[in-house]
Amino acid sequence: MLSNPGPAQLAPFRIEPYYRERVWGFLDLRPWYDHRAAGEPIGEVWLTGDNCKIATGEHTGTTLGQLFREMPDALLGKGAPSPEPPLLLKMLFAKEKLSVQVHPDDRMARKYGEPVGKTECWYVVAAEPGAALALGVKPGVTLDQIRAEIYDGTLEQSLNVVGIAAGDMIYVDAGTVHAVWPGSVVLETQQNSDLTYRMFDYGRPRELHVEKSLEATRLQTRAGKIAPQVLDDRTVLVDAEYFRVERVPVDGTMSGSNLAKDEAGPKLSYLFAVAGTGRITGAGFEPVELQTRGIVAIPATSPAYEVEDLGGLDLIRVTPKWAGTIA
């Protein structure tokens, strides 16, 4: 009997950003991205969305969603509970306050016919003096109080305000009432879901989801700033139920095996350049440039590779985790 050869190798590849219109965003994303809106403001830059196109290698021009449908095993490796993309990474640019909102957990999402909920985290890439976020509600606030304040326009008085600075990591588990306010640029890592229930929207003419938002709300959650875990060769920014986010210094070059050390087996990872530039090289594939605020996918079946710092590379590495496997 012939043995199963397993999935084919899939080399690292760069992903093009996908710009999402949001009423609270910017018309001009420079200097962060060389992009000006043609119509409505841009508030989110999706880095790993299904509509993002692959920019390098043999699958250039294919959308990331299509590649997941065609080659899930090559991308995710063994042990993945689903062939679907596990994470959505994006940059948020808020010129105005986002709605006060809440995301459902997996159980509530499935109750309403969706595959997964939305737990997320925010890495603060830049922040103005005095920048803050709304994260959870103050002690003693009740659901009845939240409901009343939604309708009389005073909900902000019950929100817990958290000051932020560049380099902070904020964990936002499903069920947390929250809002992103102007004054910061954040890298968001989240479950691959766009489920958002708006509680309050500052008078903008968009749909509210008051009843579902209250159903999803947990008055006490684990949301908050995460203290970094400084290791010899990296800093773990968050290690949670669905994702692990690390900041990895690259001194000259670093091998992929060192990036993935201590992991149980090969899995998908994403390399994001907060600043500076890099290059991913290896046998059997063309070098892949890691551009400033660009992202490269490292499939689970990638050939051996190295990351080279081409100047000022500030590298974030994100890996998915399957529920219940906190390291």
Classify residue 6: in a domain, yes or no: no
Out of 190, 225, 260, a domain closes at 225
pLDDT at 5 over 90: no
Together in a domain, 28 and 148: yes
According to DSSP, residue 214 is labeled H
pLDDT value for 2: 40
pLDDT value for 77: 87
Question: At 24, is the pLDDT very low, low, confident or very high (cuts 50, 70, 90)?
Answer: very high
Classify residue 327: in a domain, yes or no: no
Average pLDDT, rounded, for the chain: 94
CA distances from 270 to 75, 187, 258, 327 (A): 11, 13, 15, 18
Classify residue 30: in a domain, yes or no: yes
Classify residue 111: in a domain, yes or no: yes
pLDDT value for 82: 86
pLDDT tens profile 290-306: 999 999 999 999 999 99
pLDDT value for 263: 87
**Cα(291)–Cα(296) distance, integer angstroms:** 9
Out of 183, 202, 225, a domain closes at 225
Classify residue 47: in a domain, yes or no: yes
Question: At 133, is the pLDDT very low, low, confident or very high (cuts 50, 70, 90)?
Answer: very high
Together in a domain, 51 and 104: yes
- 208: domain CATH number is 2.60.120.10
Together in a domain, 160 and 290: no
Together in a domain, 71 and 187: yes
Q: Which two tokens mark 322?
A: 């399957």
Together in a domain, 48 and 178: yes
Q: Which two tokens mark 231?
A: 């290791």
Q: Domain of 296?
A: 229-320
Classify residue 101: in a domain, yes or no: yes
pLDDT tens profile 159-171: 999 999 999 999 9
pLDDT at 100 over 70: yes
Classify residue 325: in a domain, yes or no: no
Per the structure, how many domains does the chain have? 2
Out of 225, 250, 274, a domain closes at 225
Q: How far does CA 62 lie from the centroid of its chain?
A: 21
Q: Cβ distance 29 to 293 under 8 Å? A: no
pLDDT tens profile 142-158: 999 999 999 999 999 99
**H or E stretch at 120:** strand 120-127
pLDDT value for 272: 98
Classify residue 243: in a domain, yes or no: yes
Question: At 204, is the pLDDT very low, low, confident or very high (cuts 50, 70, 90)?
Answer: very high
